[in-house]
Amino acid sequence: MSAQEQTASDRGVRETSTPEPLLRAERVAVEYGSKRRPNRVLHEVSLEVGAGECVGLVGESGSGKSTLGKAILGLVPVTSGTITFDGRDITHLAGRERRELASDIQVVFQDPYGSLNPRMTVGEILAEPLSTAGTGRAEARRIVGEMLERVNLPAGVIDRFPSEFSGGQRQRIAIARALVRKPRLIICDEPVSALDLTTQATVLDLLIELQRDTGVSYLFVSHDLGVVRRICHRVAVMYRGDLVEVGDGEQVTRDPQHPYSRRLLAASPVADPVLQAQRRADWLALRETQAAASA
């Protein structure tokens, strides 16, 4: 079995189950625009993430998957529904309470170039959330050095600037920043889509290793079923603001049931040119069928 074909279970990602999920979104709706002309981008979406679990949220651009992540982070207002974290309602937290929640919920964004302040050194970037939490300067520097080594970067890079690193290294720095306060949940918003395939594999392996070692949970947002197959225990497929399929990661990414999920699978590239041609034909046929059904 190739590394690309390995699944979360094959790679030994830590799985835990608890009576109550760590994160629960219940009938969450989000609207943009004015009250007179609202544009609903999430339609009463319900999703759970357990402790130590990686849940993939998959869909094309505009499906609403990133909006759900932003709602959990408090970056967009929730129109209706509730979001609970460890049994606590966090739907409308603001100000100090929302800032305090940052110790438990962190995010890794898609763009490793735009998510790091170019005017700050790596040490300053990683120490900033620690300083905000009241950690002393010397202790913060020690923690930052340990965290850099944990993401396979030498502690000696602490005084270098983001521009001195490759895209994959910058994403490692972003992951280190997310982990530095020991969160219980990380929202991974397309964290490898801006990277080449080899670097993608390296970063995914790192995320798997970190989850196994720390027990952190991931909500992994992606458009690529091949990527989520490698890291996610469960997968939820989103289409036009609705969840259309939720299930075991292996089943959803290899034998999806919903037509849109099958279309996503057909869009995933493969190395075999014959199989790739067949997938392209399947994708076109599924797109035409779905367009006819929506007409």
The rounded distance, in Å, linking the Cα atoms of 113 and 94 is 28
Establish if 86 belongs to a structural domain: yes
Place of tokens 């202790």: 139
Identify whether residues 37 and 93 lie together within a single domain: yes
Please report, in tens digits, the pLDDT of each residue of the chain (295 residues total): 444 455 665 544 445 445 689 999 999 999 988 878 888 999 999 999 999 999 999 999 889 999 999 999 999 999 999 999 999 999 999 888 998 898 999 999 888 777 888 999 999 999 998 888 888 889 999 999 999 999 999 888 999 999 999 989 999 999 999 999 999 999 999 998 888 888 899 999 999 999 999 999 999 999 988 899 999 999 999 999 999 999 999 999 989 999 888 888 877 765 555 565 565 565 556 566 655 555 5
Q: Among 41, 72, 9, 18, which Cα is nearest to 221's? A: 72
* Domain end residue (candidates: 182, 208, 228): 182
Q: Alpha-carbon distance 224 to 53, whole Å? A: 19
Say if residue 90 is in the same domain as residue 208: yes
Cα-atom radius of gyration of the chain, to the nearest Å?
20
Do residues 96 and 3 both lie within one domain?
yes
Domain identity same for 32 and 178:
no
Do residue 10 and residue 123 come from a single domain? no
Same domain membership, residue 280 and residue 160: no
Q: Judge if 39 and 89 occupy the same domain.
A: yes
Helix (H) or strand (E) holding 221: strand 217-222
**Residue 80 backbone dihedrals phi, psi, to 5 degrees:** -155, 165
